[in-house]
Structure 1
């Protein structure tokens, strides 16, 4: 009774060039350092056939040319390759290229990329913005430079000069002269608190007196704010609505937001002066509550949706005049 072949034995035949660009073919078994080098392509393939006929397992050989995979064959197709290459008297330098063009080797089918399913985001949530006042949400020109300057000013206003280094007059140390002025061979020194000594004061280090605030004109700040609101309106990402809660409840706020399909958005900017709404949204990482008088240009640009009440819209209309 014939024994059933089990595992697959893998072999490789690849081109190899010496210093004079003379070609040879390296025959190797997978996971083994020992390999054979043959001067002719057919000798390497015949060696594979000889080894395969003696093996009790299935065998397959992979061909490599110019360091790239060109295809693979089993024992039966290897014999066909020997026959075809011999009949056409193919040169060694074109042997692997020949069997590839003649489709004498098997190649794996190219992987088909499956289209990814996009998750629900702000672009899929659209609101009617046609009734919004054009003086606030409908500027004819978006002032990009004003937006840039406003963001820099906002970030600078948040920055505090809390970093500080000590000068030579503030570090702890003796005021005694380290050594005599002359006849020591050392350079002149008057204090160990000098910056040239270890533990001495810092020269031109940061101080708490620095001010990071940047000046921006009122008109530029207004243009930046209205431009950011216009961009949200153009994306239909402005919802005019006021959430009113009886008590502090995150669940109740989520229920109201779910009615408007805002729960799964990454960044919801909620404009409200209601303390109950503010306290209810504290545990929601994707909801940011702010007053209409504290609107940030950077926060508006980062928001997926702006939720604002009618009264706050009227406040913005007053700022736009």
Structure 2
């Protein structure tokens, strides 16, 4: 089992903790992580792009000239695609870009992302995150003690004070263990887990 050090908020090592081999010691599958990140980003796209086709543009109800005898090409409407102000052919219309990925693939990708943090030494376990009042400087002080600049801070459950203390710090995000995903794990350089978060992750995802 992978073993990592446990620190307090003063940046001092206080103990060690053994992590679940299945969750934090899995083979690192970059192909699966890539697939899941693509799915995550595709689902976030709004897909509200829209152009007007010839039936939607204004005007052009009358035939511009008679069918025969003018020497010009026959035309039925000045809102056909070849005219200025006409409709657009095969333009984008509202759609969803979301696609599904098997649950087993998502789970293996999450294991890979967590295991990659352990393998790279980019995971830090805290014995607790005791911030009673929403004060950004308190969270900044904790991060400075741990020598962190860009990190994902994960707690067992979302608490108001740490959340409000973190949201104004650039490059740092606070979230609860149930909400972790491959995109957020790969987006931030370091992963900071409280002991409660480690227990929650192993309980939910193992």
What TM bracket, shorter-length normalisation?
0.7 to 0.9
CA contact 2:178–2:204 (8 Å) conserved in 1: no
Deviations along 1:74-117, whole A, 9 cap, x unmatched? xxxxxxxxxxxxxxxxxxxxxxxxxxxxxxxxxxxxxxxxxxxx
Output aligned runs, 1:108-257, within 5 Å: 131-139=18-26, 141-208=27-94, 210-241=95-126, 242-257=128-143
In 2, the alpha carbon distance for the partners of 1:222 and 1:249 equals 35
In 1, the alpha carbon distance for the partners of 2:106 and 2:124 equals 23
User: 2:183 — aligned with what?
Assistant: 298
In 1, the alpha carbon distance for the partners of 2:69 and 2:177 equals 74
CA contact 1:129–1:236 (8 Å) conserved in 2: no
SS in 2 for 1:257: helix
Q: Looking at both structures, which has the greater relative contact order when contacts are Cα pairs under 8 Å and sequence separation is at least 6?
A: 2
In 2, the alpha carbon distance for the partners of 1:129 and 1:144 equals 28
SS in 2 for 1:271: strand
User: 1:94 — aligned with what?
Assistant: none
SS in 2 for 1:258: helix
SS in 2 for 1:314: helix
Shift of 1:244: 2.5
Aligned counterpart for 1:307 among listed residues 175, 184, 192: 192
Gaps spanning 5+ residues in structure 2: where? Answer: 1-10
| TM-score (normalizing by structure 2) | 0.85
Shift of 1:130: 5.8
The number of aligned residues is: 191
Distance 1:301 1:221, change over 3 A: same
Shift of 1:294: 2.4
Aligned counterpart for 1:269 among listed residues 122, 128, 152: 152
4+ residue runs over 4 A deviation: 127-130
| TM-score (normalizing by structure 1) | 0.56
Q: CA RMSD in A?
A: 2.0
- Structure with bigger gyration radius: 1
